[in-house]
Each structure stands twice: as C-alpha cells, then as structure tokens.
A and B are shown apart, each in its own frame.
Chain A
C-alpha cells in the first residue's frame, strides 16, 4: 500500500486544491501515468502516479484542499515496492535535505549512512519538510516557506564579519591606547572618573558604560572616607621628604575646558568694570523667617531666591542691562532669564531660571531647588543651561565679604553676592546692630555704562530693603 501525498508544487505553496481526479477509485494506475490535477497558489499542475497498483481510495475529493504532505489517496494491492511511497517531488527542485541534517554545521561530522535505500531516504526527507511546513502553516503563517523553519543554530557566514568587528583583533593591550566606548568616555568626563583606573569588561577589554558607572559609584562611596586621611597626610608630611619641583598635572574634563575657554573669552573681549553696593538686609532676613515659619519646609525660600526675584524685577525696569553685545550691536532681551552659578568640586555650571520676573517667590524657590539638584546630579537637560540674560553668583555662604565675578556670556552683567554680616551701623545718628550684604555688579562696558549700573543697583537695593514688593 502506498500513500499519495499532496506535493509541494511551488516555493510558496501551503495547500493544494484537487481540481480533478484522472483515475476513478478501483481503477488500475501505472507509475508515471497522470493521476490528479492540482491547483497550487501558482498554477494548475497534472501530477503523475509514483507507484503502480489499484487506486484503492481517494481521500481528498475534487474541489477540496489539503496541506502539503497530507495523504490525498491510497494506491496499492499489497505488493508495492517501498519506492512506491515516494511522494511527488517538487518540480524543478532538488530534494530538500532533512531538517536534522540541516541543523548541523557544514563542517561537522558527516551523518552516518542510514541503512535505507536512496529512494526511501528522499521520501523521509520530503515528509519531514512537508511536516515542518504543515506545522508552520498551522501556527498561523509560514514564515520560511523555502528553507523550512529557521532551525539553524550554528553561526553562519552572515554574522562572522560582524563578530570579527565586535571581538576585535586579538592583540590590543599594547598599553598605548585604552579601548573605551564613546558613551563610556563621555560618562567618564561628566562624572570625573579617571579612565586609567577602570578595568574594561566589554569585548576585547573595552571600557563600557557599565564599567564607568560602577567606577563612579565606587568613587562616590569612597570619597568621604578617603578625604580625612589625605588632609592629615598633607599636614604631617615633613617638608624635606617632598622632592622639589614636583608638579601634579591635572587634565581638564571637556566641561572644564569649555568653562575655561568661555570665561577667558568673556574676560578678554568684554571690558569689565565693577560697581559695589552695601544693602541693608534686616527686613529681607525677617521676611524670609516669617515666610518660612508659615510654610512647609519643602516650600521654604532662601536669601538667594529673594535676590533672584529682586534682580529680575529690577531688570524689567532696566532693559539696557538685560542685553547682550552682538557683533557691534546690542540685543535687548524681552525674557528675563537668570543664570544661577553653581559651584561643584570639579566643575562650574550655570543653570537658568526662565522668566524669573513673572514667577512668584515660591515658584522661584521650588524651581531653582530642582534646577540645582538636577545639575548636581548631572541630570540637567541641555535647555536647563541655555537662554540666560543675566547671572548671579553667590558666595555668601562661604563668608565672603565681597568679590568680583566674570560675566557669563552672552550676558552683559553679573551680580556677585557676599555674605550677610552683622555689623554696627549708624541709623538716625545712633550706632545700632544691622545686617549688611555687599553686592558687586560686573558690567560689560560696551553694553551699558556707570550711571545705568549704579541706578540698576539702586533698584535692586530698594527692592531688597523693602522686600514686601518681592512677595506681591
């Protein structure tokens, strides 16, 4: 008995439709005689019998469809040779190899010879392919109609070139140049990680993002403990033990280079002059206390917030101060965006508080807190640093009387804030205790002049000395 199976008649065929049986049930069929006409997805094809015998049963009647490999008829009188079982071979196609052979690497041991006749070997292979196609079709879509399912597990030539690149040349640790991925290099710069101390774990020993992150974390953890012994060593180390002329070279991070370049450019192209004023801060300090007692700690305001607000309001009255030197012209800005200088151990950054003149004290306080936190955590977005029209640098918390700051381009002014000092002041002819703060305005003399600078400072002073105006 031989089964006639639905043959694969085209590359992309999934099922075939029986158009016409050319023999009736019970009729004799000779091998090679036309047996059935089948419609594939491409064409109608007459299929020959691959075995001789009686067409004992038609399983799939005319007009119905069956998937590749399904039994569509039985031929046989019990005396058929095994070769009679060979199903129709796809036209114009070489017999497909069995999937289990395909899965092996091309250079693997040759499969052991099977004790089968060539014909039955082919039949098995074809059945396996048909079964695989059937499974794929059942699963809702035949994805690889030509090669059978994608069961290759060994690496093909397709991946080899990419792998060679990834794994890199065997020789590499010549000590000359470290392998560092671009993202790792950038992160290391941002976080102040010394790459010479980082062991790369990536392919070929490359330092990866993860390696830098781990190093940065370690550094963060180690810092407080390491600081104390270092200071102690510095004091106790005998001067004689130090070789003379020893110089420690510190490489700049990219950010440090940028800061250096911009400040030098500002200092050497903008002619600076400075105007200092002392401001009575008694009322401002009281206002802050009253305010902070009334609100939750998270909403508390700082002296700096009051200064930001006072400066922003003063700038709306002095558009000539809220301006930039632009190639022989002056650009006056409508927006009042205050840059707040934030000093960190390894860098200087100036996040920008936008439209400060239109914001309430509470908004200024909350927003600048977030901005400064983001900057410290290195999570600020590019726009957090853009658009400043005037800047403030405050060293008051470091007990500084007064200082001069370098203008932060493209601004034309920066206000340097000293500490609030308790000192004797003369009021109505009496010496009384007072709280005084010195501020110094640096001015780009190309953009505005001494009188404007003085008047601007007067306005800042007026606002801080009558601080209720800041709350309104």
Chain B
C-alpha cells in the first residue's frame, strides 16, 4: 500500500493494464511527448512507444471516432479528452456511435472503450472551461459512467473500466489530481456499479462523487465537532446508478443532501432525489436538499467563482438547516 496522488494512481492503472494486455493503447492530445496536460500519462510513451501512446491532432471527434473503430476491431483504447469541456464537439461519436453501436448491431460487435476526461471548475478558467458534464453522459443508455473521488478508487475503477466490454466514461476532476491517498499495489479492481459508504453516520446522509466527495468528507468531519453525525455515501458509480447504499442510509437517517459540482437542474442530485422519493418516501423527514453549482455560466472573477461552486461551508449550513439547527 503506497501513498499516491490521484494522477499517479491513474498512471499506475494505465501502466499495469498496458503491461497486462497488449490490446490496450492510449490516444489523446499531448499525452505522449508532453506526458499529458495533467501528467496522468507521464512516462508511458517512453515505456510503451509511439504505437501504444498516440499523440493526436486537436480534433476530439476524430480521437473518439478512431477509438471507437479500434475498439470494434478488437483493441482496448483509452482515449483522453484533455478536459470534459472539449468533448462537446465529439458528442455525436460518444452518444450516437459509442453508446449505441453494440445495441444497433444486435450485440454483434462490442465497443470496449474508455474515455478519460477531467471536469470541474473553480480554477478561474471561465465559463467555457469549468463544466461538469457527468449527468449528460449518465443520461444515455449504453454508456457506463464513473467518477471516483479517491486515488484508490481511481486506480481500481480505471482498471475495471479498461477490462469492461462497454464504453465507459471515466470522469476525473482537475481539482483532485494532487489529492493523495493510500493505493493498493498491483491487482486492485473496484467494480463500476457499486457505490459505498465512505464515512458512517446516524443523523444525515450526504451523497457526493468526485471532488465533492472530498468536500462532503471535510464537512462531515466539521459537523462531527458539533455533534452531528453525517453518513457520506460515495456516488462513484453514476451509470448504472447504485442506489442501494443511499436507500439503506436514508432509511436510517431520514435526511439526505446531494452534492455535485455541476448545476443542480437535471443533475445527478435530481436523479438521486427522484429515486429516493420512489424507494424510500415514507422514510424521509425533510425534502432532499440538492447542492450544486449556482445556475449561471461560471464566472472568471475569483470571488464570484468561489461563491458559485459548492464548498464545505455550503454542506455544513445545509445539514444544519435540514436538522432544524439554524
């Protein structure tokens, strides 16, 4: 068990899978010579050569289209979109092709493809470069969507994603690449369809994924000091969405907060709340509280940006309000 930053845990997963299976190859912008914009692919071109780590032109639709073709031909491509903001020009490939091909051919061909891409805001990169789009992908049957929030899960889920025979949207976060945590050595696999309680508690349930998992964990630690015991459920598996730990938790706590970095409307929290209303309505003691980015294009101004994206203060005040304590 080593302490690794998220980017190094991802790097380890890629390296191990490329060694294990020659069909695995990487493609994306600046991932080879430049080691990747966020250094996730550091050293891989040197180690595996230019045939297995492809530096591509700045043309997202071509990157994903190429990856889909390769996947249908028996390879296991891992495509990097430098950030999730750039994938919008390739949505036709992701949705119309990657997600649907296996179904449209009656299962005759599969698309074992991983698209790695970081989302998230809060870095003063302006409205166009501050998106969180996991809900867009999680809307689409045919895609699997995961968004880990710890280095160990990042490694374990990326390895599982590469071995999966379906297209997997592997959503990372620009704000978590330097987050460190214990990562099991070698063969560490985390299922793509299992969410889990990351911190047990009694009074209130907080659901979060990716960077917001860290925010939720921090808020839970603060709430503990004030005598409020919060249970944090990591929603790393977004599609298929594993609700079991949430339902179980809500039956215990009767109160739920969802936290996401993207906008609330039509968001991850909306889906979680709907499922809770369907499956545990009679256990709720308050409406489900959804926390998400304010409904504006992300501002560039530092102070405005800090108000727009959720932080632990937002989770704390919401938890107390739900419990009638402020």
Contact = CB atoms under 8 A, between A and B. Distances in A.
Contact of A157 (B34, B181, B308): B308
A260 B318 CA distance: 43
Interface string A149-177: 01011111111111101110000000000
A68 B111 CA distance: 44
B324 A159 contact: no
B181 A184 contact: no
Contact-residue size bin, chain A (C-beta under 8 Å from the other chain) = 35 or more
Contacts of A167: 321
B286 to A, nearest CB: 6
B289 A162 contact: yes
A449 interface: no
Interface in A77-134: 93-94, 96-97, 102, 106
A369 B313 CA distance: 51
A183 B282 contact: yes
B284 A182 contact: yes
B38 interface: yes
Contact of B311 (A158, A181, A185, A186): A158
A11 B122 CA distance: 11
Interface stretch (A198-206, A241-249, A338-346, A389-397): A198-206
Interface in B24-44: 34, 37-39
B91 interface: no
Contacts of B59: none
Given A146-B122, A162-B257, A182 B282 contact: yes
A145 B38 CA distance: 13
Contacts, number: 152
How many B residues are at the interface, by size bracket? 35 or more
A209 B285 contact: yes
A208 B324 contact: yes
Given A106-B303, A183-B285, A158 B291 contact: yes
Interface stretch (A135-143, A222-230, A360-368, A413-421): A135-143
Contact of B313 (A96, A147, A152, A209): A152
Contacts of A209: 254, 285
B313 A155 contact: yes
B170 interface: no
A88 B250 CA distance: 50
A12 interface: yes
Given A12-B177, A97-B303, A145-B175, A165 B287 contact: yes
Contact of A154 (B304, B313, B318): B313
Nearest to B179: A141
B188 interface: no
Contacts of A43: 34
Interface string B298-326: 00001110111111111101100110100
Given A159-B317, A163-B321, A202 B286 contact: yes
A182 B306 CA distance: 35
A156 B218 CA distance: 16
B291 A162 contact: yes
B174 A147 contact: no
B82 to A, nearest CB: 12
Contact of B178 (A93, A142, A162, A166): A142
Given A12-B174, A97-B303, A183-B254, A159 B180 contact: no
B148 interface: no
Contact of A153 (B34, B122, B313, B322): B313
B290 A161 contact: yes
A143 B322 contact: no
Contact of A156 (B177, B254, B286, B314): B314
A158 B289 contact: no
A145 to B, nearest CB: 5
B215 A150 contact: yes
A423 interface: no
A96 B39 CA distance: 24
A25 interface: no
Contact of A158 (B282, B284, B308): B308
A14 B214 CA distance: 19
B293 interface: yes
B175 A166 contact: no
Nearest to B305: A147
Given A11-B174, A153-B313, A209-B285, A166 B318 contact: yes
B283 A182 contact: yes
B100 to A, nearest CB: 34
A106 B307 contact: yes
Contacts of A11: 123, 174
A202 B293 contact: no
A374 interface: no
Interface in B256-311: 257, 264, 281-287, 289-295, 302-304, 306-311
B3 interface: yes
Given A158-B291, A161-B290, A102 B311 contact: no
Given A150-B218, A159-B317, A41 B39 contact: yes
A185 to B, nearest CB: 8
B312 A97 contact: no
Nearest to B300: A94
B317 A14 contact: no
A455 B304 CA distance: 85
B293 A158 contact: yes
Contacts of B3: 140
A24 interface: no
Contacts of B179: 141-143
B241 interface: no
Given A102-B303, A140-B3, A145-B178, A206 B308 contact: no
A156 B303 contact: no
A95 B21 CA distance: 46
Interface string A27-50: 000000000000001110000000
A365 B175 CA distance: 62
Given A94-B302, A159-B291, A202-B324, 16 more contacts: A11-B123, A143-B179, A146-B174, A146-B175, A150-B215, A150-B311, A150-B313, A156-B311, A158-B292, A158-B308, A158-B309, A161-B290, A162-B290, A166-B318, A166-B321, A182-B285
Interface of A: 11-12, 14, 41-43, 93-94, 96-97, 102, 106, 140-147, 150, 152-163, 165-167, 181-186, 201-203, 206, 208-209
27 contacts: A11-B123, A12-B178, A14-B178, A42-B37, A42-B39, A97-B302, A141-B178, A141-B181, A145-B175, A145-B178, A146-B124, A146-B174, A147-B123, A155-B314, A155-B317, A158-B294, A158-B311, A159-B315, A161-B290, A161-B292, A161-B294, A162-B314, A181-B284, A183-B285, A184-B285, A186-B283, A208-B286
Question: Top 6 closest A-B pairs, CB basis?
Answer: A159-B314, A157-B294, A141-B180, A158-B310, A162-B289, A146-B123
